[in-house]
């Protein structure tokens, strides 16, 4: 698997699946979630509503993931995951790791071979970017080791230079 980090706007990624740092309602919000819904158009919200009515009536749990189609985005699927909120006291790295593991599980299930992630939980949810980068890189590598050949490319798409630097550092540190 190729794992890379770039600076950019996740909504413009031409990969099979982009991952949304959503909240449990799946009904949109600010940050990357708001940008994805704005770029995808109303079809995405419609499908999220359907997922809520059928599969996740109580909301999508923290650390879980679910795939929908991607509306008008260039990507084919949006994989929605809910990161833990540091600001609300959700400080378990295993929950954050689960977002990356479950997102890749779900992406592989729908047949995605290239997946782009944002820095889940590093915005409104308040986790330190360096921690998110470490957990993200470590977890994606472990997933690939467990399921080799299933996903060819994971790209971390970061909004700012500081975020990119943290992911580049994490990628450069072999554990
Ligand atoms: N492309 C790439 N990265 C982005 C983009 C973009 N278009 N927009 C923002 N980011 P956040 P969270 C970065 O807050 O911390 C929402 O309201 C951003 O700079 O989007 O998991 C949801 O509905 C930051 O580094 O996600 C939830 O309620 C990173 O994406 C809550 O926020 C994640 O920031 C989720 O909070």
We report the CATH number of the domain holding residue 167 as: 3.40.220.10
12 Cα–ligand 1 center, Å: 15
Q: What is the pLDDT of residues 24-54, one digit of tens each?
A: 999 999 999 999 999 999 999 999 999 999 9
Given 9, 16, 33, 134, the catalytic residue:
33
- Read off the DSSP letter of residue 10: G
Examine the residue annotation and report whether 105 is marked as an active-site residue of this protein.
no
Count of structural domains within the chain: 1
Taking the CA of residue 11 as reference, the ligand 1 atom at the shortest distance is 7
pLDDT score, position 73: 98
28 backbone φψ class: left, alpha, beta (φ>0; ψ -120 to 50): left
Residue ID of nearest Cα to ligand 1 atom 9:
32
Q: Does the ipTM surpass 0.95?
A: yes
14 φ, ψ (degrees, to nearest 5): -100, 70
pLDDT score, position 95: 98
Mutate to test the pocket of ligand 1, among 9, 10, 29, 32 (most ligand atoms within 8 A of CB): 32
pLDDT score, position 173: 85
Contacts of 23 (CB under 8 A, 6+ apart): 29, 33, 82
Q: How would DSSP label each residue in 23-65? A: -TT-S--SHHHHHHHHHH-HHHHHHHHHHHHHT-TT-PPTT-E
The boundaries of the domain holding residue 13 are 2-172
pLDDT beyond 80 at 175: no
């Amino acid at each position: 698997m190729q794992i890379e980090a770039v600076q950019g706007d996740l909504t413009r990624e031409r990969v099979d699946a982009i991952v949304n740092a959503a909240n449990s309602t799946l009904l949109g919000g600010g940050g990357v979630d708001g940008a994805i819904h704005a770029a995808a158009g109303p079809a995405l919200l419609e499908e999220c509503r359907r997922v809520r009515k059928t599969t996740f009536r109580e909301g999508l749990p923290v650390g879980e993931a679910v795939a929908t189609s991607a509306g008008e985005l260039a990507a084919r699927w949006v994989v929605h995951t809910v990161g833990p909120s540091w600001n609300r006291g959700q400080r378990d790295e295993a929950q954050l790791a689960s977002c990356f593991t479950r997102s890749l599980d779900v992406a592989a299930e729908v047949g995605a071979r290239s997946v782009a992630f944002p820095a889940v939980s590093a915005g409104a949810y308040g986790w330190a970017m360096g921690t998110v980068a470490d957990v993200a890189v470590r977890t994606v590598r472990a997933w690939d080791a467990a399921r080799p050949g299933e996903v060819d490319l994971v790209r971390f798409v970061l909004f700012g230079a500081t975020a990119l630097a943290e992911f580049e550092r994490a990628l450069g540190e072999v554990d």
